[in-house]
A and B are shown apart, each in its own frame.
Chain A
């Protein structure tokens, strides 16, 4: 049975070209970039070339890019680092209710450490309420951290507008762009972004490596203490193969961004249309316009998401859900609750995230499988029985 991978928001397959670029840095060019001899110096150069590639994509300077071990580390570094650097100015942070746990948990920790955090709400499509954001600004606000695009429902936030609000009020603006990099064109200057997190494995790069952009002039504390790597902001010998892979992956992603996005969007729209046509009583979660091209999030009423995922898995299909049973807790996704979904509809959500390797045949097979599985699970569901008995109310 072939694997049909429709969970590209979770991670992506490393591109063959990326892997090829990385391989020499394991057992041939293995020198420490801080060393003075040739195989060290060459690796320093490889790291700097990757930095230039990232800077080019974001429209910033290479020395505004810091390599990290991934999106979560970038978020932690930026939020904690900026919050503590500006503590003498104020202790108030603004974020949203639908952030990734890497941001939410960092903010919660900062609350325990004496900071004050406002969690701004979103509308029914998952778009941040700009008026609420503006109204929550205080003289003590030093940082706004709002994600570029949501990982569950794919909603793209009005980043440029948030950047303008932040700039007008002289507040630093960080954005967790882990889901957006590789899918959206981002210009940190034009969008007034002061700090941005990204992660290589979301755009066909390797896992365990990410980057943080911080605009020159924005102060942030060192996150990992030790050596003087990354201009004394992030200690630890550089993950050279990973960084080379990140550089290659971001270059490939943006060289053919429009071409890939066109194909991915067509497949995503086809999937959503097919599900709408073939399965009744569904709810499409999130905004269909301001949305990442590969993301779809659909709730199938009267059934629970984990049962759906397990049955899809038996057919070789990989997807994810915002149900409690798949979140590892007993609550459904905080994002789906924030857009106002009742618990039982949030439990039945299915995120299918399409990537550049997916095909129309895979979508057809998936929809066909969904028709069968959803039908079977509904036949088994007392909620469905009740719904039918009560005359489809």
Chain B
């Protein structure tokens, strides 16, 4: 299995690692059984994601997708961030091996969960509205059935 140079760069020097103490929203997806957990922290000001940090337990691809997706949503409006697709993340990384594609899905889900958490804290929308707006899905892992 070969990783692209970009993937190697991101797992070697991951960007935006850490946590935001006064985060506007925090999203966590995955589980330790599968071997991947991503936790995304966002700071929102005037509908713009002004800061983003992550923590990831997982393989090289999981670390690289977390890292690059923080770069891709920093400075973006919430609506723009919600439009980020896992395929965009994969393309920006110069591709991922097929068995690692699920890592990019996790990154997309982590961002959506963080934004949903922000909306919940804001308290302006119902849970139904948040679910729809953030396109929240039940995470499903084929290997462990969780």
Contacts and interface: CB of A to CB of B under 8 A. Distances in A.
Interface string B35-48: 11111000000000
Contacts of B28: 382
B59 A306 contact: yes
A38 interface: no
Chain B CB within 10 A, most for which of A311, A379, A381: A381
Interface string A310-327: 110010000000011100
A383 B60 contact: no
A365 B66 CA distance: 30
A347 B37 contact: no
A381 B55 contact: yes
Interface in A101-143: none
Interface residues of A, number: 27
Contact of B33 (A307, A323, A344): A344
A392 B60 CA distance: 26
Contacts of A343: 32-35, 144
Interface of A: 302-307, 310-311, 314, 323-325, 328-332, 343-344, 347, 379-385
A344 B12 contact: no
Nearest to A323: B35
A338 to B, nearest CB: 16
B50 to A, nearest CB: 22
Contacts of B142: 330
A332 B143 CA distance: 10
Task: Decide if the interface of chain A is mainly helix, strand, loop or mixed.
Answer: helix
B19 interface: yes
21 contacts: A304-B35, A304-B36, A304-B59, A307-B60, A310-B60, A314-B12, A324-B34, A324-B143, A325-B35, A329-B143, A330-B34, A330-B99, A331-B143, A347-B32, A380-B56, A380-B63, A381-B37, A381-B56, A382-B39, A382-B55, A384-B57
Interface of B: 1, 3, 8, 11-12, 14, 17, 19, 28, 32-39, 55-63, 99-100, 141-144
Nearest to B60: A310
Contacts of A384: 57
Contacts of B141: 330
Given A302-B57, A380-B57, 20 more contacts: A304-B36, A304-B59, A306-B60, A307-B58, A310-B8, A324-B34, A324-B143, A325-B35, A329-B143, A330-B99, A330-B141, A331-B144, A343-B32, A343-B34, A343-B144, A379-B17, A380-B14, A380-B56, A382-B37, A383-B57
Contacts of B1: 328
Task: Decide if the interface of chain B is mainly helix, strand, loop or mixed.
Answer: mixed
A328 B59 CA distance: 12
Which 9 A-B pairs give the minimum distances between C-beta atoms? A330-B143, A344-B32, A325-B59, A306-B59, A382-B39, A347-B35, A382-B55, A343-B33, A381-B57
Chain A CB within 10 A, most for which of B14, B17, B63: B63
A304 B58 contact: yes
A302 B57 CA distance: 7
A325 B96 CA distance: 13
Contacts of A328: 1, 99
Contacts of B37: 381-383
A323 B100 CA distance: 14
Contacts of B12: 311, 314
A323 B58 CA distance: 10
B12 to A, nearest CB: 6
B94 to A, nearest CB: 16
A379 B19 CA distance: 10
B57 A303 contact: yes
A311 B3 CA distance: 13
A381 B37 CA distance: 8
B57 A382 contact: yes
A306 B143 CA distance: 17
A380 B143 contact: no
A385 B19 contact: yes
Nearest to A346: B35
Contacts of A329: 143
Contacts of A305: 59
A382 B59 contact: no
A370 to B, nearest CB: 16
B35 A324 contact: yes
Contacts of A325: 35, 58-61, 100
Contacts of B144: 330-331, 343
B57 to A, nearest CB: 4
Nearest to B102: A330
Contact of A307 (B8, B11, B34): B11
A381 B63 CA distance: 10
A373 to B, nearest CB: 11
Chain A CB within 10 A, most for which of B11, B19, B28: B11
